[in-house]
Structure 1
Amino acid sequence: MLFHVLLRALLFELFFQHASAASNASASSSIRAIYLFKDVLKSNTTSLKTSGFNSVIIFGVGILENGDIMYYSNTPGSNDTLIASDGGYVGGTALSDKVRSFKTGDTGINRIEISMNSQHVRELTSSPGTGAETRLYRNFKALKTAWSLDAVNNDDESLYDVTSTVAFAKMLGTIGYKYTGAPYTNSDFWKNVTTQSNNGLHEPNLLLDRMYLQCYDGGSGNDPGSWQTALGMKVVPLVWVTNDSKPSQGTTATQARSKFTSWNSKSAVAGGGYWNDYDIEKMGLSYTEYGEVLTSIFP
């Protein structure tokens, strides 16, 4: 009798754990993102981890002419740092520990991306190419491991070369990355990149699985619904938080709530996000307020 009681208790516990896991997965299915413009060694990691965001995109990573990778400083008092060279991680343990910590402990973050433009991508994918023996491939593989990365975000705003972009995306996919875009214009380019990168692939195994649509500054007139139709996939609209760089493009938490609610009601989007953490901290804004906007609209 006791055996059967214990067995039932064990089965109930297993069922509860399974149900809880499924519930948590469902609860975090919407994308709640924030771009990290500030040096991650100096940003408020605790607030970023506990304010409702589930995706962080680290801005300022770039490829050098020889295929090495830099993390460029956008913060006074910080220095540019070489983070991958000749197939190895060289950015130091303090930086790698800080980045990896976004997904550990008391956190809602389950995805870390790095954002870069297309500088040197066309030249390097042409020669020496994207094979596993190349410096470019080995550097991105080493960085993925060191920083526990999930995706590379393409912030191309000038080159727009489909062939090299797709070749680069597929190389990253071979390593184990996802690939994402951050368009503000040129929907034809992004449509071609999306179609060719995902050719033959289906959900949930898409290579290019997210589009973070800039809906501020040069993209202030963008309509997420129109972009979703053009791309054939849902997008994540981004707004710029209150800032002193371009105040007219700033968005308060209240204004963000209105924008995200309107976009999502007209044409359901994949989530929402912000540019950027540097301004939140510089302007003394509230991570909690901005994060709560996303959790309430995109649970």
Structure 2
Amino acid sequence: MKAHTLTIALLSQLFFQNALAASIRSIFLFKDVLKSNTTALKTSGFNSLIIFGIGILDNGDIKYYSNTAGSKDVVVASGGAYTGGDALAAKVRSFKTDNDTGVDRMEISMNSQHVKDLMAKPGPGADTPLYRNFVALKTAWGLDAVNNDDESIYDVASTVAFAKMLGKIGYKYTGAPYTNLNFWTSVKTQVNQGLSESNWVMDRMYLQCYDGGAGNDPGSWQSRLGMKVVPLIWVTNDSKPSQGTTAAAARTKFTGWNQRSALAGGGYWNDYDIEKMGLSYKQYGDVLKGVFP
């Protein structure tokens, strides 16, 4: 009887831990990660970091655009090898591996430039430069997923082919839409066709709910997509102040959306503005921990 009771208790604890782990608390990293506040990002409640500014070149090389004054853009994978330097690789890996971190998922965010052409020729095969470069980058940076920030091309066939290629390498694939629900629904359906939900390749959708996506309703997107979404809002900023959101206002927005339609989590655009505006990572992180424990 005691052993049985103990087993039930352990199972209950594991279930509770899994339930906690299921909530997504994300932030996009716009600032050069070599210059970011690594400690704050790891310890403020975020569990998913998405590095913004990765691009595919026409020859299949992969480039990191640092987006930060005084930093240089760098080709991080070429010829099937990692070329981004040891310091950058160590910094990216540290987000997940240091003892004090709460981060368990690292993604890179990219647009769809050159994807259509490269999927047509030479294609998505394992012997192509693009495939081999993504293998090298995953190994060097310890990546979990590739985020698609397509806001202009919207080619379903090549996007699906690219996502399935990444799935074979071991990546998950995510979206970051602000519009064109039909495109994202088609991609999600085709990428995950024949897979159980626990094995979906396209497993997350980070929905922009600011600027061009300010009118988006996460619940409506969830219903159409057939998957829970992660609404993103823009922190207080000096680029488009009207789209900025204080930590207090963020709590109100996330709570309201989540009460109407249970969400996968929440997130922010972006870390650079938090640092530039002298804001608090902890305050924004505490909002996510409170609404999405």
Provide the TM-score with structure 2 as the length reference. Answer: 0.95
The partner residue of 1:163 within 148, 153, 157 is 157
Q: Is 1:46 aligned to residue 57 of structure 2?
A: no
Q: Is 1:293 aligned to residue 287 of structure 2?
A: yes
- Kindly state the Cα deviation for residue 49 of structure 1 after the two structures are TM-superposed: 0.3
| Distance in 1 separating the partners of 2:183 and 2:46 | 29
**Structure-2 residue corresponding to 1:283:** 277
| Distance in 2 separating the partners of 1:20 and 1:91 | 41
Listed as ranges, the gaps of 5+ residues in structure 1 are 1-11
For 1:139-154, what aligned pairs fall within 5 Å after superposition? Answer: 139-154=133-148
Greater shift after overlay, 14-23 or 132-141? 14-23
Q: Is 1:206 aligned to residue 230 of structure 2?
A: no
Listed as ranges, the gaps of 5+ residues in structure 2 are none
The partner residue of 1:256 within 215, 225, 250 is 250
**Structure-2 residue corresponding to 1:188:** 182
> Number of residue pairs matched?
290
For 1:78-157, what aligned pairs fall within 5 Å after superposition? Answer: 78-104=71-97, 105-157=99-151
Query: Secondary structure of the equivalent of 1:94?
Result: helix
**Structure-2 residue corresponding to 1:8:** none
For 1:60-71, what aligned pairs fall within 5 Å after superposition? Answer: 60-71=53-64
- Kindly state the Cα deviation for residue 230 of structure 1 after the two structures are TM-superposed: 1.2
| Distance in 1 separating the partners of 2:245 and 2:123 | 42
**Structure-2 residue corresponding to 1:7:** none
Amino acid at match of 2:134: F
Query: Secondary structure of the equivalent of 1:204?
Result: helix
| Distance in 1 separating the partners of 2:276 and 2:8 | 46
1:188-234 per-residue CA deviation (whole Å, 9 max, x = no partner) reads 00000000000001121001000000000000000001101111111
**Structure-2 residue corresponding to 1:6:** none
| Structure label with greater radius of gyration | 1
| Distance in 2 separating the partners of 1:260 and 1:18 | 30
Greater shift after overlay, 139-148 or 13-22? 13-22
- Kindly state the Cα deviation for residue 24 of structure 1 after the two structures are TM-superposed: 3.4
- Kindly state the Cα deviation for residue 28 of structure 1 after the two structures are TM-superposed: 1.8
Amino acid at match of 2:85: G
**Structure-2 residue corresponding to 1:245:** 239
Query: Secondary structure of the equivalent of 2:199?
Result: coil
Query: Secondary structure of the equivalent of 1:96?
Result: helix
- Kindly state the Cα deviation for residue 296 of structure 1 after the two structures are TM-superposed: 0.5
| Distance in 1 separating the partners of 2:126 and 2:157 | 19
Amino acid at match of 1:212: Y
**CA spacing shift, 1:13–1:144, aligned 2, 3 Å:** farther
| Distance in 2 separating the partners of 1:103 and 1:15 | 31
Q: Percent identity?
A: 72
- Kindly state the Cα deviation for residue 13 of structure 1 after the two structures are TM-superposed: 11
Amino acid at match of 1:144: K
Query: Secondary structure of the equivalent of 1:237?
Result: strand
Query: Secondary structure of the equivalent of 1:41?
Result: helix
1:244-265 per-residue CA deviation (whole Å, 9 max, x = no partner) reads 0000000000000000000000
- Kindly state the Cα deviation for residue 48 of structure 1 after the two structures are TM-superposed: 0.3
| Distance in 2 separating the partners of 1:255 and 1:17 | 38
**CA spacing shift, 1:17–1:265, aligned 2, 3 Å:** closer
